[in-house]
Structure 1
Amino acid sequence: MAALTYATVGSNRLDEAKTFYDALLGPIGMTALFEHPSGGRVYAQGGTIAFAVLGPYDGQPATVGNGGMAGFSFDTPAEVDAFHARALELGGTDEGAPGERGPGYYFSYFRDLDGNKLCAFKLGR
């Protein structure tokens, strides 16, 4: 069973953005979970990813929508693989093949026909 679970935003000023989101999200119970390879930060609520501020994957400047992404949670890595493969079969483009992105973090990324970025993932082992 899939579920929509988190959102991201892109930034061209990641250090400032992290300071902003630390202060904004902390009071509502979202805390930094890990630093993202783009220089951004991923936040969690109750130990679960809830929000992230990132540098866009394509290396282009962040704009409204560039860096934005919807994530779909799955129960197994095989379901992530199948969802990603299905998206590509339907004409989507690969933005990151399925694989482990950190201990217990299995992710895949793709864009839909209009270029909207989506993620399929499985958390935990």
Structure 2
Amino acid sequence: MAKLNYVTVGSNDLEKAKAFYDGLLGSIGMKPLYEHPSGGRLYRGDGFMFGVLGPFDGNPACVGNGMMGGFALDTVEEVDAFHAKALELGGKDDGAPGERMPKVYFAYFRDLDGNKLCAYKMG
């Protein structure tokens, strides 16, 4: 069975973005994996990767309208903490943590470049 195993976002200020993601992803145990030639960085988690990169085409990074990546966490407390960490690091709230339907708990935020991400717990 196929599964999605990595997501990348673009940034126009990779040094600030790497500091943001070092703090945010480090809070859930993800580690830097590779310094990308664009000046960005790839991170590894349990069976997946996340990257913050400079765009390959050399144009400025822009937010993908309708694009969002999600981080599955084990508890609602971890979702709350991840969302709070994103905001502490300068991210913007884009949907406070809460139950969206029975046993489905999500929290949404935008990173320093406006890329939308979420943390969630299902079940």
Structure 1 length-normalised TM? 0.49
Higher strand share: 1
